Amino acid sequence: MRTSPIVGIFLLLASLATAQPQPQLNLMPMPASVQTGAGQLPITQSFSVGVVGTHDASLDGAVQRFVTQLSRQTGIPFRPKPGEPPTLQIHAEHGRQAVQKLGEDESYELTVTDSGAKLTAPTSLGILRGLQTFLQLAQITSSGFAVPAVTIKDQPRFPWRGTLIDVSRHFIPIDVLKRNIDGMAAVKMNVLHWHLSDDQGFRVESKVFPKLTGMGSDGMFYTQEEIRDFIAYAHDRGIRVMPEFDIPGHTHSWYPGYPELASGPGPYTLDGDGLDPIMDPTRETTYKFLEKFVAEMAKLFPDAYFHIGGDEVDGKQWDANPQIQAFIHAHGMKNNQDLQAYFNQRLQKIVAKNHKIMVGWDEILHPDLPKTIIVQSWRGQESLAAAAKQGYRGLLSFGYYLDLMWPAARHYAVDPMADAAATLTPEEKSRILGGESCQWAEWVTPENIDSHIWPRNAVIAERLWSPQEIKDVASMYTRMNAVSLDLEWLGLTHRSARPHMLHRMAGTGDITALRNLADVVEPVKDYNRWSDAKGPIDFHAPLTRMIDAVYPESDPARHFGDLVQTFVQSGYKDQAAEAQIRMWLTTWRDNDARLHPLLDQTFLLQEDEPMSQDLSALGAAGLQALDYLDKGQPAPDSWKTQQLALIDQAKKPMADLLLMVAAPVQQLVEASAAEHK
Amino acid sequence: MRTSPIVGIFLLLASLATAQPQPQLNLMPMPASVQTGAGQLPITQSFSVGVVGTHDASLDGAVQRFVTQLSRQTGIPFRPKPGEPPTLQIHAEHGRQAVQKLGEDESYELTVTDSGAKLTAPTSLGILRGLQTFLQLAQITSSGFAVPAVTIKDQPRFPWRGTLIDVSRHFIPIDVLKRNIDGMAAVKMNVLHWHLSDDQGFRVESKVFPKLTGMGSDGMFYTQEEIRDFIAYAHDRGIRVMPEFDIPGHTHSWYPGYPELASGPGPYTLDGDGLDPIMDPTRETTYKFLEKFVAEMAKLFPDAYFHIGGDEVDGKQWDANPQIQAFIHAHGMKNNQDLQAYFNQRLQKIVAKNHKIMVGWDEILHPDLPKTIIVQSWRGQESLAAAAKQGYRGLLSFGYYLDLMWPAARHYAVDPMADAAATLTPEEKSRILGGESCQWAEWVTPENIDSHIWPRNAVIAERLWSPQEIKDVASMYTRMNAVSLDLEWLGLTHRSARPHMLHRMAGTGDITALRNLADVVEPVKDYNRWSDAKGPIDFHAPLTRMIDAVYPESDPARHFGDLVQTFVQSGYKDQAAEAQIRMWLTTWRDNDARLHPLLDQTFLLQEDEPMSQDLSALGAAGLQALDYLDKGQPAPDSWKTQQLALIDQAKKPMADLLLMVAAPVQQLVEASAAEHK
């Protein structure tokens, strides 16, 4: 099924830096095969698209959106000349499935010459993918907008390339989801995994059980009509929508309306009973409820897959309930895990009766479940490989948690076929279907969710689409930054939201100095914000601090680190690099003086005062280090000791932020104190 | 009707600079009376609004939008505590008219103390205005978001405060118009003057005459359903929608479908016949057509006023048509003007028959028309005063043409009651109803129209709402910049569109240096872009040049000019000012080296190369001038001559742009060469 990829342009791209004069192909995900040709196809006002072969409303809509998007990117209002042959000719052999299938053919071929372009595909789904490639190829040149001559043959490495969006912890409105669907389509992802219920809120209208949202949400949920409209929107863009209703844990929001489902006595309210209530798998009434509920939801969501969660079942309520413990013993079970497996078996039958295939997190894996189910692994490739060996299909999400605030390169390095999975037989490997990035929503709002997802999600999309060999980090960053600009044309706000948030923090003050600070900090990583939260998270608190406005990864800090690296490797001789380093350091050294008056004035910035001072101190230390290096005499030990203490201080998280330029400044300070040449 | 205003806070505000530590009231338009109190009302999560008195769907909607907007600005998800008294209590005596009337009461009173706020008004229309004031009062402080204690009594100076938006030359979609309606409501404007037809396109669906859009547009027009929805949207925000169908000139788009209306033989096509066809007022069939057309449009647009244009009637077709000339003689008319007056008289009867009051541009003024009509003056206060003396009501638009790219201060200085109007009797003065800013659409697209309208439109709104005495320019700029930030929270893109447009021009290159250049240039003024266009304008050409991306007014250039002023007035002793001036000049001097490689690469930036070089030369010249000043010895004459030649060069428009820092650098150069102390 997955043919061996031919890698053409890749090696050429590997070493290109950010702002190159040569034209380059800023494609992400990189296609399976790219062969560049001579010349380019100009994109002018007469640009037009012609469709031959299969023709349906979905394809026509896609072509219309494509033209609109190309017009937006180039600013050209197209006016095709009647009678002229189309600039881009499209030919799909077949149409698409009414409900998109896992593994449906997404391949396409795109040929561009200086006189025209041709996009062909076995299905119109492949055409959707190819149109996105064309959009990414369009670039500005010294003579106009153009697409370089190229021949691309492309198909995905994995058939399941998803993004999970949690809408329970913070409600995310449909329009925000839609623009994220557009972003996913732009990087050829094909599954939105919609995490629709969790402790903090139940987000889907149920007509059978109206108290699920009536008492289990703050009034913010999706009506069934909105959901149908949203699924159609995603389908038009080649994206499946898989619902997740996480049971039997993560279910607090079910119980204000239906306390009889819980394993403890209740009553329950949505806002903090300080409990971790879980579903009672020992009562027949629970299954009667689930029969009706799953039947309703299975009709609402046409996708063949149905995610039942199953993760992190906290057994406290089961332990505390004598009836449940008696049930465990009566049925010869050893522990709570066995009880969950029993629950899952019964649930799986309900799901199957509704013609759906059950998907769940690692914890559902149990030999009693049929091999049809799919296991989604937050634990890692080992867990995934173990499932594959037992005959289960699997998805990787370990390493793709966007909420952990990792740099793109770290996500990019995670491969579903790595480590334990690498040792599987070909048949076992074929059970690894792909993966999903996860955007858990404890710390996002509609305002900043885009910047938590994008552009990093594009590199996970590439990992799941492109040949395994595509892994050069420098090329990835170059292309990710180009795609990031394209994504803003779709209406995503991952870059444009930050100035608004900084202005909110700054009142009417000038934000130049604030931006200088925001540019070089990152949020603390992993779950450190949780640990700092001290006590339960208030999910209703504003998310308007600096940590909420900054990007998960600092581009300027990475560039600065690279510059220092270049300078060090040149034996401190690269004067251009040194000049740029000095420019940065000077800006930082002087920044606190500019920023300080503002920090004092607004309550949202007061916590950032020490960070601002540290940045200025780092700037000063770096400049002194350069002065020592320029003089060619080692800096005194006492000075070095003092600076390293300061750098240590600057490396500590403050206000849940990390100052990302501390390490390269340390490198300069240490170099300046060393004997050299 | 209009009571004498009590000006409270105004003098306090007059001299405040941009980033002040003291809390200040960033209100625009400034209310008629403001009295500040002690303390402030915190805006917290428990913020709530209570409505007593009149209650209708329109008011409820307004309150809902107000809360959403306050939540967006502060980032606080409000969760009122049940049972607690509302933070803001609203009381309207009466509801609103179903169709908003000219002169409908817009007054309100707003009292804020540290424990709560109260907003009262005779009508719910006044409540809408007061809610906008409250939003502008909310600000960030060192302890949280808050509204300062204040007592405001407010009503407008003029009852007609409008913005004309031309949607013919470039079609502007409804969603763009809606966000501009939101902006207008935020600054208390109350009329959208919708310029719906002109030579380049007819933009309203007519069911009676479908060829008006069918052959007289490029397919982009508003359906009647969209128009009804839009009018309701505007009404909800307290804004009347007055349509304009410009006749008998500016009518090219009518004739492809209905050539029999024209004064020449035809046939006509929408795209450039190189003609200026005008309507034939001598045929009865013309009036039969207008009878039906006006009847249809009068039903569609509920506003009591109906604008028939009437401007710039080019008589060439009348002169060339012997039948028309014979008609003129037969009816004892002297010239084409008399023929237009005849046309207007007949038209006025048709308009009146449909229960509408006719509005038209200066040219329609003629003693044979009844005193009910309104004259809109693009010619100036003299024309307005002349009309008022003859008993006609009038509106000022002269001085408020946003497309002329004037600085805000220049619009701000234009007062409808100034010059000739100042000498009118009170009764005559009462005929001057207000004014309208005008956004003619030759050079705008949906992408950049917001930045052409905002924030400058806010100062015209203030001129028309606030007491005449409110005219301090420094205070205006401070408040305009604050309001500009608020407007972005409404979804206007006057600031956020520029980075997108710069990125389009720059491809994937870094835009820092490009932004430095864009920051200090302005488009050429008045109609100079027209003159440079050489030949007829191509209304379908992309608007993606630097001139299309930059703001009409450069804030940094104005600030730099102020800094130089401060430095000069200090006798060259203000070291803080000098340090800042040096910082700017250094950035500019070094900018071309950073920017040059990029300018070469993309066709959209090549024309900006000389401008970039000039900016760097200005930076260098300014720095040398400061060095001479610091040394205390006059710069040599030869140097001065050389620099002034360079500055002269830099002052010339290039690529339709003006380099706005040339003048202050000249000031430095001249100072450095002068004998002083």
Segment 628-647 of chain A within 8 Å of chain B by CB: none
Residues B293 and B371 occupy one common structural domain: yes
Q: Quick check: A475 contacting B, CB < 8 Å? A: no
Token digits of residue B540: 């379908």
Residue A274 pLDDT greater than 80, yes or no? no
A45–B540: do the CB atoms touch at under 8 Å?
Answer: yes
Q: Quick check: B335 contacting A, CB < 8 Å? A: no
Helix (H) or strand (E) run with residue B123 in it? strand B116-123
Q: Quick check: A74 contacting B, CB < 8 Å? A: yes
Best of A175, A508, A546, A580 to disrupt the B interface (most B CBs within 10 Å) is A508
What pLDDT sits at residue B144? 97
Residues B180 and B125 occupy one common structural domain: no
Residue A123, domain extent: 33-154
Are the CB atoms for B239 and B106 separated by under 8 Å?
A: no
Residue B9 pLDDT greater than 60, yes or no? no
Q: Quick check: B482 contacting A, CB < 8 Å? A: yes
**Which residues in chain B are contacts of A478 at CB distance < 8 A?**
508
Residues B179 and B271 occupy one common structural domain: yes
Q: Quick check: A139 contacting B, CB < 8 Å? A: yes
Helix (H) or strand (E) run with residue B658 in it? strand B657-659
Give Cβ neighbours of residue A660 (< 8 Å, ≥ 6 apart). A520, A521, A522, A554, A557, A558, A561
- CA A385 to chain B, closest CA, distance in angstroms equals 40
Query: Is A312 annotated in the active site?
Result: yes
A18–B544: do the CB atoms touch at under 8 Å?
Answer: no
Asked if the structure places residue A173 within a domain, the reply is: no
**Which residues in chain A are contacts of B503 at CB distance < 8 A?**
485, 488
Question: Residue B388 maps to which CATH number?
Answer: 3.20.20.80
Question: Residue B129 maps to which CATH number?
Answer: 3.30.379.10
Q: Quick check: A144 contacting B, CB < 8 Å? A: yes
- CA A103 to chain B, closest CA, distance in angstroms equals 34
A77–B19: do the CB atoms touch at under 8 Å?
Answer: no
Residues B588 and B646 occupy one common structural domain: yes
Domain boundary, last residue among A154, A173, A198: A154
Average the pLDDT over B49-65 and give the result.
93
pLDDT single digits (tens) A192-203? 999 999 999 999
Asked if the structure places residue A322 within a domain, the reply is: no
Q: Which residues of A626-661 are buried (b: 16+ CB within 10 A; e: fewer)?
A: bebbeeeebbeeebbeebeebbebbbebbbbbbbbb
pLDDT single digits (tens) A256-266? 999 999 999 98
What pLDDT sits at residue A676? 59
Residue B386: strand, helix, or coil: helix
pLDDT single digits (tens) A457-485? 999 999 999 999 999 999 999 999 999 99
A603–B144: do the CB atoms touch at under 8 Å?
Answer: yes
Residues B568 and B425 occupy one common structural domain: no
pLDDT single digits (tens) A199-228? 999 999 999 999 999 999 999 999 999 999
Q: Quick check: B600 contacting A, CB < 8 Å? A: yes
Segment 371-390 of chain A within 8 Å of chain B by CB: none
Query: Can you say whether residue A42 is alpha, beta or left, with left for phi > 0 and alpha for psi between -120 and 50 degrees?
Result: beta
Best of A45, A68, A140 to disrupt the B interface (most B CBs within 10 Å) is A140
**Beta pairing class for A393-396 and A432-439:** parallel
Q: Residue A497 to residues A185, A377, B338: CA-CA distances in angstroms?
A: 21, 32, 57
Asked if the structure places residue B85 within a domain, the reply is: yes
- CA A604 to chain B, closest CA, distance in angstroms equals 8
Residues B149 and B51 occupy one common structural domain: yes
Residue B582 pLDDT greater than 70, yes or no? yes
- CA B601 to chain A, closest CA, distance in angstroms equals 5
d(CA A580, CA A572): 13
Asked if the structure places residue A426 within a domain, the reply is: no
Residues B456 and B569 occupy one common structural domain: no
Q: For residue A671, how many C-alpha atoms fall within 13 Å in the half-sphere facing its CB?
A: 26
Q: For residue A126, how many C-alpha atoms fall within 13 Å in the half-sphere facing its CB?
A: 26
Segment 2-31 of chain A within 8 Å of chain B by CB: 18-19, 21, 26
Facing residue for B75 by CB, picked from A19, A74, A542:
A542
Average the pLDDT over A328-351 and give the result.
96
What average pLDDT does the structure give for chain A?
94
**Which residues in chain A are contacts of B506 at CB distance < 8 A?**
140
**Which residues in chain A are contacts of B26 at CB distance < 8 A?**
508
**Which residues in chain A are contacts of B507 at CB distance < 8 A?**
139-140
Chain B residue closest in CA terms to A26: B508
Token digits of residue A228: 């149908």
B75–A597: do the CB atoms touch at under 8 Å?
Answer: no
Residues B94 and B174 occupy one common structural domain: no
B141–A603: do the CB atoms touch at under 8 Å?
Answer: yes
A18–B504: do the CB atoms touch at under 8 Å?
Answer: no
- CA A633 to chain B, closest CA, distance in angstroms equals 30
Count of the separate structural domains present in chain A: 2
- CA A220 to chain B, closest CA, distance in angstroms equals 12
Facing residue for A141 by CB, picked from B447, B542, B603:
B603
Facing residue for A504 by CB, picked from B75, B481, B602:
B75
d(CA A455, CA A547): 17
Q: Residue B510 to residues A163, A457, A550, B503, B598: CA-CA distances in angstroms?
A: 29, 22, 19, 8, 9
What pLDDT sits at residue B119? 98
* Residue the block writes with tokens 């000012």: B577
Residue B172: strand, helix, or coil: coil
Asked if the structure places residue B483 within a domain, the reply is: no
Residues B53 and B131 occupy one common structural domain: yes
Phi/psi for A438 (5° steps) reads -130, 125
Asked if the structure places residue B490 within a domain, the reply is: no
Burial of B418 (0-12, 13-18, 19+ CB in 10 A): middle
pLDDT single digits (tens) A179-189? 999 999 999 99
* DSSP class per residue in A28-53: SSPPSEEEEEEEEEE--TT--EEEEE
Domain boundary, last residue among A154, A186, A211: A154
Lowest pLDDT segment from A89-93, A554-558, B4-8, B330-334:
B4-8
Lowest pLDDT segment from A51-55, A595-599, B70-74:
A51-55
Q: With bands split at pLDDT 50, 70 and 90, how would you rate the model's confidence at A68? A: very high
B598–A19: do the CB atoms touch at under 8 Å?
Answer: yes
d(CA A230, CA A165): 14
- CA B506 to chain A, closest CA, distance in angstroms equals 8
A540–B19: do the CB atoms touch at under 8 Å?
Answer: no
Facing residue for B73 by CB, picked from A144, A495, A504:
A504
Asked if the structure places residue A207 within a domain, the reply is: no
A508–B144: do the CB atoms touch at under 8 Å?
Answer: no
The amino acid occupying position A448 is N
- Beta-bridge mates of residue B432: B394
Q: With bands split at pLDDT 50, 70 and 90, how would you rate the model's confidence at B407? A: very high
Residue A21 pLDDT greater than 90, yes or no? no
A598–B19: do the CB atoms touch at under 8 Å?
Answer: yes
Domain boundary, last residue among B107, B131, B154: B154
Best of B40, B71, B140 to disrupt the A interface (most A CBs within 10 Å) is B140
Facing residue for B542 by CB, picked from A76, A485, A496:
A76
What pLDDT sits at residue A416? 97
Helix (H) or strand (E) run with residue A646 in it? helix A637-651
Helix (H) or strand (E) run with residue A146 in it? strand A144-154
pLDDT single digits (tens) B133-190? 999 999 999 999 999 999 999 999 999 999 999 999 999 999 999 999 999 999 999 9
d(CA A426, CA A423): 9
Lowest pLDDT segment from A434-438, B9-13, B595-599:
B9-13
Residues B281 and B143 occupy one common structural domain: no
Q: With bands split at pLDDT 50, 70 and 90, how would you rate the model's confidence at A22? A: very low
Best of B487, B508, B543, B608 to disrupt the A interface (most A CBs within 10 Å) is B508
What pLDDT sits at residue A11? 35
Give Cβ neighbours of residue A552 (< 8 Å, ≥ 6 apart). A402, A405, A406, A407, A451, A452, A456, A522, A523
Residue B314 pLDDT greater than 90, yes or no? no
Facing residue for B544 by CB, picked from A75, A478, A499:
A75
**Which residues in chain B are contacts of A597 at CB distance < 8 A?**
19, 21
Facing residue for B597 by CB, picked from A21, A485, A508:
A21
Lowest pLDDT segment from A47-61, A403-417, A648-662, B191-205:
A47-61
B504–A140: do the CB atoms touch at under 8 Å?
Answer: yes
**Which residues in chain B are contacts of A169 at CB distance < 8 A?**
none
Asked if the structure places residue A366 within a domain, the reply is: no
Segment 152-211 of chain A within 8 Å of chain B by CB: none
Give Cβ neighbours of residue A201 (< 8 Å, ≥ 6 apart). A168, A169, A171, A216, A217, A218, A220, A221, A253, A270
Chain B residue closest in CA terms to A138: B507
Average the pLDDT over A581-601 and give the result.
95
B509–A482: do the CB atoms touch at under 8 Å?
Answer: no
**Which residues in chain A are contacts of B510 at CB distance < 8 A?**
18-19
Residues B369 and B235 occupy one common structural domain: yes
